[in-house]
Amino acid sequence: MTLVAAGTIVLEDRVCKPGWLAISAGRIIDCAPGPPPRPPDYDFANHVVVPGFVDMHVHGGGGASYADGIGSQIEQAAEFHLRHGTTTTVASLVTASPEDLLRQVRVLTEMTRQKTVAGVHLEGPWLSAVRCGAHDASLMRNPDPAEIDALLTAADGTIRMVTLAPELPGSQDAITRLADADVVVAIGHTDAGYDDAQRAIESGATVGTHVFNAMRPLHHREPGPALALLEDPRITVELIADGVHLHPALVRQVIETVGPDRVALVTDAMAAAGLPDGSFRMGAVEVEVTERVARVRGTSTIAGSTTTMDKLFRTAVGQLGGSDEALVKAARMTATTPAHALKLDRVGSLRVGMDANCVVLEEDLRVQQVMRNGSWLLHC
């Protein structure tokens, strides 16, 4: 048994000063506030320990992309984000041809079995060309039952989430088919109206993909999909709270309105995360990164992000006031809520029975160490 103590630790929904974890065979077997029952094996008296981050929407990082379809690239991207505290990654794929998408899914299915990633997120190809963002609109298409079945068969249960535009012909049937296969359905990259979004929710959609970005904006006579997603308690709303995609005041208002139990902070990071400015690709689309902001080359369209989950955590704590309550809320939005949204029942919080995934943060909330499944993986 390994005993880990910390000066500050977020256990479930409270901050403990101090607190401790007991770990065996990669799982948390005991935890409590106060001093540990014996001298700890690891003592982080001047640090903050939080649950390992869960990123439910990320395309790559450290110069590598999950869409490359190459195992070493997938490992490189996952390792980059692991160094920034993401102990659970769901690899996101952008719109691609049927053949390329099937090939990418097969590779990621094997990497999921190897536990490099925790599953696959298909962000496309069943999206709106009007709200394509950094996706190749020429490759977008309506949901096709045969293609859906082929992807589900190839993935063999590893597709965790699919983002689609509910206004497209065939979307309602697709939502039902995916939900029946225990795939989380998300609404995004959509020009849907308010009623379209409501129908999708009733059919089984439970997530809003990077809400406000790449969707019809709010209007006082046509509220669009964002309001439908925000007002329904069944929906988890993704927010890219990197200071680029959304104004901080809007992020604060959403958190205050719907609560951290329904907000999942996501990076939507691309291969450029962690690298200097320059030229990159996101699927078939050329991207230029300038001052850490990624845009489709020659346009003002934002193309994913260059952020990491630890940055989102620090930003959230700061924006919410820096208090113990802010620590709890930030931990929920970067770990607990996304885990619940993806139906991952052994990650996302520090409590008995959970996988021993945690991040040790310095006093300034920068990553110092990361534990995944009970093993210390790196010194950052």
Q: Is 135 annotated as ligand-binding?
A: no
Catalytic residue flag (residue 144) = no
State how far the Cα of 89 lies from the Cα of 9, in Å rounded to an integer. 22
Q: Please report where in the chains the tokens 């990633």 appear, as a residue.
A: 117
Q: How do the residues of the chain divide into helix, strand and coil, expressed in percent and rounded to 5?
A: 30, 30, 40
Q: Is 340 annotated as ligand-binding?
A: no
Tokens of 225: 């999909």
Measured from the Cβ of residue 146, the count of other Cβ atoms closer than 10 Å reads 8
Q: Is 189 annotated as ligand-binding?
A: yes
Nearest CA to 53 out of 359, 375, 376, 314 is that of: 359
Helix (H) or strand (E) holding 164: strand 159-164
Q: Is 303 annotated as ligand-binding?
A: yes
Q: Is 155 annotated as ligand-binding?
A: no
State how far the Cα of 338 lies from the Cα of 66, in Å rounded to an integer. 19
Give the orientation angle of helix 71-82 with respect to helix 98-113, to 10 degrees: 60
Q: Is 32 annotated as ligand-binding?
A: no
Are the C-beta atoms of 299 and 288 separated by less than 8 Å?
no
Q: Is 284 annotated as ligand-binding?
A: no
Q: Is 214 annotated as ligand-binding?
A: yes
Q: Is 302 annotated as ligand-binding?
A: yes
User: Which is catalytic among the residues 55, 68, 136, 268?
Assistant: 268
Q: Is 210 annotated as ligand-binding?
A: yes
State how far the Cα of 46 lies from the Cα of 222, in Å rounded to an integer. 51
Annotated binding site: 123, 134, 189, 210, 213-214, 221, 245, 302-304
Annotated binding site for Zn(2+): 123, 189, 210
Active site residues: 268
